[in-house]
């Protein structure tokens, strides 16, 4: 099979195609005016104002595309780099990794309690794990990090009487369903809304509802499948393949314990791709400590230095929050048409102080998980109460990254080195965002972008709003099969789609939601996704077998996604 070109190469081809179009497509322009939409001034196309003008064929301007695209999307690119670098630092502390392992150990102990024998503890455990990973995908875009957890949850699922597909579903599938139903994901929602020119993370209420519906559907589906397999394990399509995992579980002695690598880190997987698919910087294992508790104090000078750094960080952040609590004693929280004046910052400052007393006594990991929690809390408060945009949100994540690294005992030089590595890792998507901005530049310089918009809107005028929405949604879904990068796809499609939505009478917020669903669902099935292939490689599940098993569920998700888009056309929703 011929290899599909990389995303950056595809965008370069599109820039050349855009330049070619400027030679053949008639020139045209719409009048544009500035309107106040949801409290924000936005430049919008004026319907029925299209008129033809002289075209201006483009040649050498294709080489200006990268520069112009970077200038136009500079804020979004810097935002992506800062957030990516901050999460790289946080991941280096292995806080999320160890926290998940500790939770898995806790659920294992719950299954051993006699007083819980009357309820279906195993199903409850699967549901809670899926809910947690879906939340991670929805809030901060957990995706490639799921690879590291496959070797935890696959043997755990097998030890519980399920199969490796169940283990993949409760982590990878759950995270990507949450990714599709994103609420605060800065790498998809943040970029798409920024390009569309609408308030960052606006429309949150309906997005939360969509996330809940999609996550509930995934949990019900996986629990239904898991129960069938537990009743008759031979019905599993991977029953023979799972003999590898069953042997590992039996080799561990107690089937209750052997599936969860609490003492020896992540078990070695006999797969050639296992060591290659885990991205550099992604946590590969670690020891959460005896009985699955978060790692506590270590011995020696390193332990004292780390503890001292954590106390200094906790003290400094506490003082800063106390100062802000005095400066902002009340927050005017606006959700839809409802508003409240609440002492949010003083309340969460007090909660931070109380929680910090326990977390600093327990471990660095516990403290960094606390930092992550309060970062999300202040993100919501800042967006809903203080109208934060990219600069403020990127600064918040930068604080998370720097102080989580310092609390873990890393010097400032090491923290900055890790931040640089994170920026380097996210540079590819940042380049695509800049280059994709160059597509619009070439079309605008050639005076053909409005002609294309006019043609699209005229051809879809007879389809109505529902048909136009379905067409946009279908386009994004199909495009994701060959371009699974959400940030790159947002940069490529949203500049045109947002203007197209103005012409056909669809809100830009609904267009972003169509992008979000189209970007998320087919990630779990496209063969060009390195993350999917990495997960399947570690779990030892052939791609063809996974495709045959999951494609019907993906079709259901796509259908449900379209049904969730319809209320944005016919029901008054805040932010839409």
**pLDDT tens by residue, 520-543:** 888 898 876 777 877 888 788 888
Sign (positive/negative) of CA torsion 530, 533, 536, 540?
A: negative
Neighbours of 96 (CB within 10 A): 22
User: What's the pLDDT score for residue 305?
Assistant: 60
Q: If you ran DSSP here, which 8-state letter would residue 290 be given?
A: G
Considering the chain, what is the average pLDDT of its residues? 79
Helix (H, G, I), strand (E, B) or coil at 269: coil
Taken as a whole, the chain contains a residue count of 576
Q: What is the 3-state secondary structure (H, E, C) of 465-516?
A: HHHHHHHHHHHHHHHCCCCCCHHHHHHHHHHHHHHHHHHHCCCHHHHHHHHH
Q: How far apart are CA 473 and CA 489, in angstroms?
A: 13
574 closest CA partner among 506, 510, 481: 510
Reported pTM: 0.66
Q: Which residue has the higher pLDDT, 40 or 83?
A: 83
User: What's the pLDDT score for residue 221?
Assistant: 95
Q: Would you place residue 402 in the very low, low, confident or very high pLDDT band (cuts 50, 70, 90)?
A: very high
C-beta separation of 134 from 175 below 8 A? yes
Q: What is the mean pLDDT of residues 42-69?
A: 80
The contacts of residue 448 (CB under 8 Å, 6+ apart) are 21, 22, 25, 26, 27, 28, 55
C-beta separation of 439 from 18 below 8 A? yes
User: What Å distances lie between residue 116 and 113, 209, 225, CA to CA?
Assistant: 6, 31, 23
Neighbours of 552 (CB within 10 A): 10
The contacts of residue 509 (CB under 8 Å, 6+ apart) are 193, 196, 198, 202, 203, 568, 575, 576
From the centroid of its chain, how far is CA 474? 21
Q: Among 16-25, 40-49, 172-181, which stretch is predicted with the lowest mean pLDDT?
A: 40-49
Q: What is the full DSSP assignment across 131-194? A: HHHHHHHHHH---GGGHHHHHHHHHHHHHTT--HHHHHIIIIIHHHHHHHT-SS-IIIIIHHHH
Burial, 59: exposed, middle or buried (Cβ in 10 Å; 0-12, 13-18, 19+)?
exposed
44 closest CA partner among 379, 507, 425, 396: 507
User: What's the pLDDT score for residue 330?
Assistant: 92
54: left (phi over 0), alpha (psi -120 to 50) or beta: beta
Q: How far apart are CA 423 and CA 2, in angstroms?
A: 31
User: What Å distances lie between residue 41 and 37, 199, 313, 507, 576, CA to CA?
Assistant: 6, 10, 40, 15, 15
Q: Would you place residue 251 in the very low, low, confident or very high pLDDT band (cuts 50, 70, 90)?
A: low
C-beta separation of 152 from 261 below 8 A? yes
Q: What is the mean pLDDT of residues 36-54?
A: 67
Q: Retrieve residue 390's tokens.
A: 């990219």
86 closest CA partner among 317, 355, 520, 376: 376
Neighbours of 525 (CB within 10 A): 19
pLDDT digits (tens, 9 = 90+) for 486-519: 776 777 678 778 877 887 788 889 989 999 998 8
Q: If you ran DSSP here, which 8-state letter would residue 233 be given?
A: G
Burial, 10: exposed, middle or buried (Cβ in 10 Å; 0-12, 13-18, 19+)?
middle
Q: What is the full DSSP assignment across 524-570? A: GT-TT-HHHHHHHHHHT--HHHHHHHHHHHHHHHHHHHHHHHTHHHH
Backbone angles phi, psi at 331, to 5 degrees: -120, 130
User: What's the pLDDT score for residue 137?
Assistant: 87
Q: How far apart are CA 25 and CA 31, in angstroms?
A: 19
Q: What is the greatest pairwise CA distance in the chain?
A: 80
Helix (H, G, I), strand (E, B) or coil at 285: coil
End-to-end alpha-carbon separation of the chain, Å?
A: 43
pLDDT-above-90 percentage for the chain? 22
pLDDT digits (tens, 9 = 90+) for 76-116: 788 778 888 888 898 888 887 777 677 767 766 766 666 66
**Residue entry with tokens 């996210």:** 426
Neighbours of 431 (CB within 10 A): 18
Helix (H, G, I), strand (E, B) or coil at 42: strand
Neighbours of 350 (CB within 10 A): 14
Q: How far apart are CA 207 and CA 199, in angstroms?
A: 14
Q: What is the mean pLDDT of residues 295-310?
A: 60
User: What's the pLDDT score for residue 102?
Assistant: 77
Q: How far apart are CA 140 and CA 134, in angstroms?
A: 10
């Amino acid at each position: 099979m011929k290899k599909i070109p990389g995303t950056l190469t595809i965008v370069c081809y599109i820039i050349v195609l855009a330049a070619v179009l400027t030679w053949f497509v008639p020139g045209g322009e719409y009048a544009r005016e500035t309107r106040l939409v949801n409290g924000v001034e936005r430049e919008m196309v004026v319907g029925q104002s299209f008129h033809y003008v002289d075209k201006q064929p483009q040649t050498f301007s294709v080489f200006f595309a990268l520069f112009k695209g970077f200038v136009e999307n500079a804020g979004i690119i810097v935002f992506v780099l800062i957030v990516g670098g901050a999460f790289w630092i946080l991941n280096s502390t292995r806080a999320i990794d160890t926290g998940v392992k500790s939770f898995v150990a806790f659920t294992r102990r719950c299954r051993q309690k006699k007083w819980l024998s009357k309820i279906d503890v195993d199903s409850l455990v699967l549901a809670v794990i899926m809910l947690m990973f879906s939340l991670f995908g929805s809030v901060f875009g957990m995706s490639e990090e799921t690879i590291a957890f496959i070797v935890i949850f696959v043997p755990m699922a097998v030890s519980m009487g399920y199969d490796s597909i169940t283990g993949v579903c409760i982590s990878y599938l759950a995270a990507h369903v949450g990714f599709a139903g994103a609420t605060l994901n800065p790498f998809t929602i943040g970029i798409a809304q920024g390009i569309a020119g609408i308030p960052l993370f606006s429309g949150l209420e309906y997005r939360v509802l969509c996330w809940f519906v999609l996550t509930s559907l995934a949990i019900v589906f996986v629990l239904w499948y898991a129960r069938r397999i537990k009743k008759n394990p031979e019905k599993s399509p991977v029953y023979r393949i799972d003999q590898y995992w069953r042997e590992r579980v039996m080799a561990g002695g107690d089937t209750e314990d052997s599936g969860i690598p609490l003492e020896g880190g992540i078990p070695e997987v006999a797969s050639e791709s296992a060591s290659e698919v885990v991205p550099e910087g992604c946590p590969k294992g670690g020891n959460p400590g005896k009985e699955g508790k978060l790692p506590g104090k270590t011995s020696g000078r390193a332990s004292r230095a780390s503890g001292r750094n954590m106390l200094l960080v906790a003290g400094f952040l506490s003082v800063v929050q106390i100062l802000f609590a005095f400066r902002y004693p009340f927050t005017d929280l606006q959700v839809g048409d409802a508003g409240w004046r609440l002492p949010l910052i003083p309340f969460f400052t007090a909660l931070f102080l109380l929680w910090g007393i326990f977390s600093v006594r327990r471990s660095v990991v516990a403290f960094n998980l606390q930092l992550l929690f309060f970062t999300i809390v202040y993100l919501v408060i800042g967006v809903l109460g203080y109208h934060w945009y990219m600069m403020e949100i990127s600064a918040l994540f930068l604080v998370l990254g720097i102080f989580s690294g310092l609390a873990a005992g890393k010097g400032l030089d090491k923290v900055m080195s890790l931040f640089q590595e994170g920026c380097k890792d996210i540079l590819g998507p940042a380049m695509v965002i800049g280059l994709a901005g160059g597509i619009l530049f070439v079309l605008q310089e050639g005076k053909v972008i409005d002609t294309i918009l006019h043609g699209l809107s005229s051809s879809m005028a007879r389809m109505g709003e529902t048909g136009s929405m379905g067409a946009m949604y279908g386009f994004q879904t199909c495009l994701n099969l060959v371009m699974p990068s959400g940030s790159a796809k947002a940069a490529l499609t949203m500049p045109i789609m947002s203007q197209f939505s103005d012409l056909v009478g669809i809100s830009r917020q609904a267009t972003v939601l169509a992008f979000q669903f189209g970007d998320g669902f087919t990630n779990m099935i496209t063969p060009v996704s390195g993350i999917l292939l990495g997960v399947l490689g570690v779990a030892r599940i052939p791609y063809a077998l996974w495709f045959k098993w999951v494609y019907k569920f993906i079709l259901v998700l796509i259908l449900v996604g379209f049904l969730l888009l319809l209320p944005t056309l016919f029901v008054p929703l805040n932010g839409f």
